Structure 1
Amino acid sequence: MVYGIGNPLIDILIQVSEEDISALGLSKGTMHLVDSSERSRILTHCAGLPVEYRCGGSCPNTIIALASLGIDAVLGGKVGPDKEGDEYIRQLASFSSASTLARGQEATGSSIILITPDTERTMNTFLGANREFSLDDLDLDLVRNADYFYFTGYMWDTDAQKAAILAALGACRNAGTKIVFDAADPFAVNRNRLEFLQLLDSHVDILFANREEAGILFGSDSMEGCLAALKKRCDTGVIKNGRHGSVVYSNGAEYSIPIFPATALDSTGAGDMYAAGFLYGLIQGLGPREAGLCASWLAGKIVQIKGAQFSPREFEAVRQGLEAGEWKVSG
């Protein structure tokens, strides 16, 4: 079983131009934390553009994917006492994902995802009720009974969130639960670099990071330097490098993982699906190289659709593809 704690967010997907990003004064391709007034400013600017609403959040995306692929997966987090919270729980159930979502006092969190023609996403995240997540919302029995505990760098926002995650990590160590950490975003890594390095040294079994995140985390401008630093700190780690594929390191061995040919429509959720595919492979008893291929294959599927999540019907198709071995390559 995989137990993930993250930030449930209602994703608001909007197709925009490069000029819109500039006019809003946003840094393209990154995640910005916004307050309610900034959220309103962005939505006002984008009024009239096509909008879609989906159940999202980085860790939730991964947990939903695992559950939809037949893996026992449970999501922890917090939503608000509002219709958005009701909708989130309703959509979550449609993906067969179990949850221990608590109800907070603040509004349900949301992420305005602005997608430019090159498929790059610029996320503007209003955390809302997520910031209230605390030790009182943590299910330690689930932590102890899980095979993998999954969390992301986005949880390093408030002291209460950090305290809850650190308590979970302590329980993992005592129970033998494997700890999986996704660095999540360059902004999060830059802001919390030293604490994240401490996590790697003392807790983390498996790390996911893209090339930019790894560069900030390990203080290296080269892929080789990042890999060298990774090998000193983790038993298993993945560095994703965009069109150049990814590199999986595990217990002294290194594997180059290619990307799968795809016509990219939207890169939202590619990293979340990669993590889901990798954990899916490990849980199915595959080795790290094969798990990396599952991850790359699944990431290649999600970029072909708009949004960070497949529909239940699409999930069934990708599940069949994984089971049929469509991810297998020679070599």
Structure 2
Amino acid sequence: MSEPALDIVAIGNAIVDVIAQADDSFIASEGLSKGAMQLLFTTEEAEALYAKMGPGVEASGGSAANTVAGIAALGGRTGFIGQVADDQLGKVFRHDITALGVAFDTPERAGEPATARCLILVTPDGERTMNTFLGASQYLPASALDEALIESAAILYLEGYLWDPEEPRAAMDRAIDIAKGAGRRVAFTLSDGFCVDRHRGDFLTLLDEGRIDILFANEDEIKSLQETGDFDAAVAATAAKTPLLVVTRSAKGAIAVKDGERTEVGAEPIDRVVDATGAGDQFAAGFLAGQAEGRGIADSLAMGAVCAAEVIQHYGPRPEADLKPLVKERLG
């Protein structure tokens, strides 16, 4: 097996986020589920909600793309595979991610639908309600995979959000085979409770077949996966199926279970939560960057906590501060 040229290659939705403030009454009046992610199935739906939003900030997003952006900010070598359309938002997404030093060569898709966008409403308590139009991102074909890029990375990172559409699901299934064939590790994030509800059987099968080496989840997702309200029971059942399980718990910190050994880290102290968008994505970035640097589980968890704490103190899902000195201060 050759030495990896990259630390992480991720496959995920290529999305441009539009982030705006909203109060609870607006969330209720639109019939939205606060703190959750809803899909918008048509361009018309997306445009109607966008027209009602207050002033917004546009920034390239997408869960796995946010994670590789965070890893790149920490000095990691990263690549990304995702589908954009041949339109203005597609160009914005490509510019933003390549400007960070992330390798991104997936060709644009001609015609409709447009590049994906996520309309994010942030309430005064910092909670984010996401409304996602998947657009072109849900048409990533297996033929668009850069097999050499996947083979060149130590870890392939996949987001559960992209498991929903049939075409990218087949592409990710193929990507796992490519990574495994090259002797690389595969990491997977459950992404959201609705993903677990829709694809619990598939996700459990991936674990049962030994195709996932690192699984990321939050507290609600891991309980949903195992269909239990008992957190510790859900962790034990899932950890038995994967070499490394990482579970975030918001203000309660995070845990990891590797080969039966459990390690915990507390959340980093902050003044207040401004916007929780991207917290899980950046936790994964810090953890995976730590793994890429050869750090132990405790240090990798601490790096994840530092990155999550930075991103929730400002609007947007990607780091604004220089993460390297923050990590150095935390780890010494």
Task: Name stretches of at least 5 consecutive residues in structure 1 with no aligned partner.
Answer: none
Deviation at 1:37, TM superposition (A): 1.8
TM-score, structure 1 as length reference? 0.94
Matched ranges for 1:96-135 at <5 A: 96-105=101-110, 106-135=113-142
Give the secondary structure class of the aligned counterpart of 1:3. strand
Partner of 1:27: 33
Contact 2:116–2:135 (Cα < 8 Å) also in 1: yes
Partner of 1:234: 242
Equivalent of residue 294 in structure 1, options 273, 291, 303: 303
Please give the alpha-carbon distance, in whole angstroms, between the structure 2 residues aligned to 1:103 and 1:61. Answer: 19
Partner of 2:161: 154
Please give the alpha-carbon distance, in whole angstroms, between the structure 1 residues aligned to 2:228 and 2:213. Answer: 21
Matched ranges for 1:18-167 at <5 A: 18-34=24-40, 35-46=42-53, 49-105=54-110, 106-167=113-174
- Measured against aligned partners, the alpha-carbon deviations of 1:193-252 in whole angstroms (never above 9, x if no partner) come to 110111122200000000111111111211111111122111101111111111111112
Equivalent of residue 257 in structure 1, options 251, 265, 278: 265
Please give the alpha-carbon distance, in whole angstroms, between the structure 1 residues aligned to 2:29 and 2:107. Answer: 37
Equivalent of residue 17 in structure 1, options 17, 20, 23: 23
Aligned-pair identity in percent equals 31
Deviation at 1:325, TM superposition (A): 4.1
Please give the alpha-carbon distance, in whole angstroms, between the structure 2 residues aligned to 1:55 and 1:101. Answer: 16
Give the secondary structure class of the aligned counterpart of 1:207. strand
- Measured against aligned partners, the alpha-carbon deviations of 1:51-99 in whole angstroms (never above 9, x if no partner) come to 1000100000001111122111001111111111111111122222221
Partner of 2:3: none
Matched ranges for 1:172-251 at <5 A: 172-202=179-209, 203-251=211-259
Contact 1:297–1:327 (Cα < 8 Å) also in 2: no
Contact 1:179–1:205 (Cα < 8 Å) also in 2: yes
Aligned: 1:277 with 2:283: no
Tell me the matched-pair count: 321
Contact 2:278–2:318 (Cα < 8 Å) also in 1: yes
Partner of 2:317: 308
Give the secondary structure class of the aligned counterpart of 1:326. helix
Partner of 1:326: 330
Please give the alpha-carbon distance, in whole angstroms, between the structure 1 residues aligned to 2:103 and 2:150. Answer: 14
Q: What residue identity is the alignment partner of 2:17? A: D
Moved more, 63-72 or 205-214: 63-72
Q: What residue identity is the alignment partner of 1:60? A: A
Contact 2:240–2:260 (Cα < 8 Å) also in 1: no
Give the secondary structure class of the aligned counterpart of 2:240. helix
Task: Name stretches of at least 5 consecutive residues in structure 2 with no aligned partner.
Answer: 1-5
Q: What residue identity is the alignment partner of 1:95? A: L
Q: What residue identity is the alignment partner of 1:307? A: G
Q: What residue identity is the alignment partner of 1:66? A: I
TM-score, structure 2 as length reference? 0.94
Contact 1:277–1:295 (Cα < 8 Å) also in 2: yes
Deviation at 1:326, TM superposition (A): 1.7
Give the secondary structure class of the aligned counterpart of 2:330. coil
Deviation at 1:283, TM superposition (A): 1.0
Please give the alpha-carbon distance, in whole angstroms, between the structure 2 residues aligned to 1:233 and 1:11. Answer: 34
Contact 2:13–2:63 (Cα < 8 Å) also in 1: yes
Aligned: 1:8 with 2:14: yes
Deviation at 1:300, TM superposition (A): 0.8
Please give the alpha-carbon distance, in whole angstroms, between the structure 1 residues aligned to 2:240 and 2:281. Answer: 25
Aligned: 1:168 with 2:172: no
Change (3 A) 1:3 1:196: same
Please give the alpha-carbon distance, in whole angstroms, between the structure 1 residues aligned to 2:182 and 2:85. Answer: 32
Q: What residue identity is the alignment partner of 2:198? A: R
Q: What residue identity is the alignment partner of 1:298? A: C
Deviation at 1:301, TM superposition (A): 1.0
